[in-house]
Amino acid sequence: MKRYLLLLVPVSLATALAWAEGPAPSAEAQRAEQLRRNRGLIRMLVEGGLSLAGEEDPVRRAEYCNNMAERLAGAIKEATQHRDSPRMMELGRHLRVLLERGVAPNLSLARGDIPEGSADEMKLHKVRDHTARVVGLLEEEFRRAADAEPQADMREALDVVQAGRYQVDLALKAPGRPKAKAQGPNRER
């Protein structure tokens, strides 16, 4: 049952991407373009969800979520470079969810089972460091774009992404088992 629940996260994110940004006056043409732009992300989220569903190890689940987050970050960077603020914000919110409900709870769960100073602890830090690199590059892109053309949505996007990163950092600072077992980004709060 748990494995099927894990599929809900990437599938719900994929559905949101397919219908993101709402219809406009030429709705059919814009919908087709949105689907074309999001096709790779949708495929990645579905495949990532299947990988999550088959994985029991929380560190590996966090790595899978991190890989999906990296792809989302790439799409956000592209949207930022094209000044596509609605897409940037939409994908930024999805990235935050992936970090807060996928990477962070799985790291927290693993943290509770791994002794401090052990070799396995290095795996946790490696996942966290990967998140920091991905988000750090995205933060730099937001700052560059904001310097070129200051916009409130750049600041908001930066805040959204940093909030997700903060939760990942917090997951390793507070050892202990969370109340509910982490499964993936669709986990209810």
Nearest to 50 by CA among 96, 19, 103, 14: 14
Does position 16 have pLDDT exceeding 90, yes or no? Answer: no
Does position 106 have pLDDT exceeding 90, yes or no? Answer: yes
Span 140-166, mean pLDDT? 82
Residue 181: its pLDDT value, please? 43
Residue 146: its pLDDT value, please? 77
Span 132-136, mean pLDDT? 93
Does position 178 have pLDDT exceeding 60, yes or no? Answer: no
Does position 183 have pLDDT exceeding 90, yes or no? Answer: no
Total-model pTM: 0.75
Report the percentage of the chain scoring pLDDT > 70: 77
Q: Which pLDDT band, with edges at 50, 70 and 90, does 17 fall under?
A: low
Q: Which of 45-49, 76-80, 116-120 has the lowest mean pLDDT?
A: 116-120
Span 92-96, mean pLDDT? 93
Average pLDDT in the chain:
81
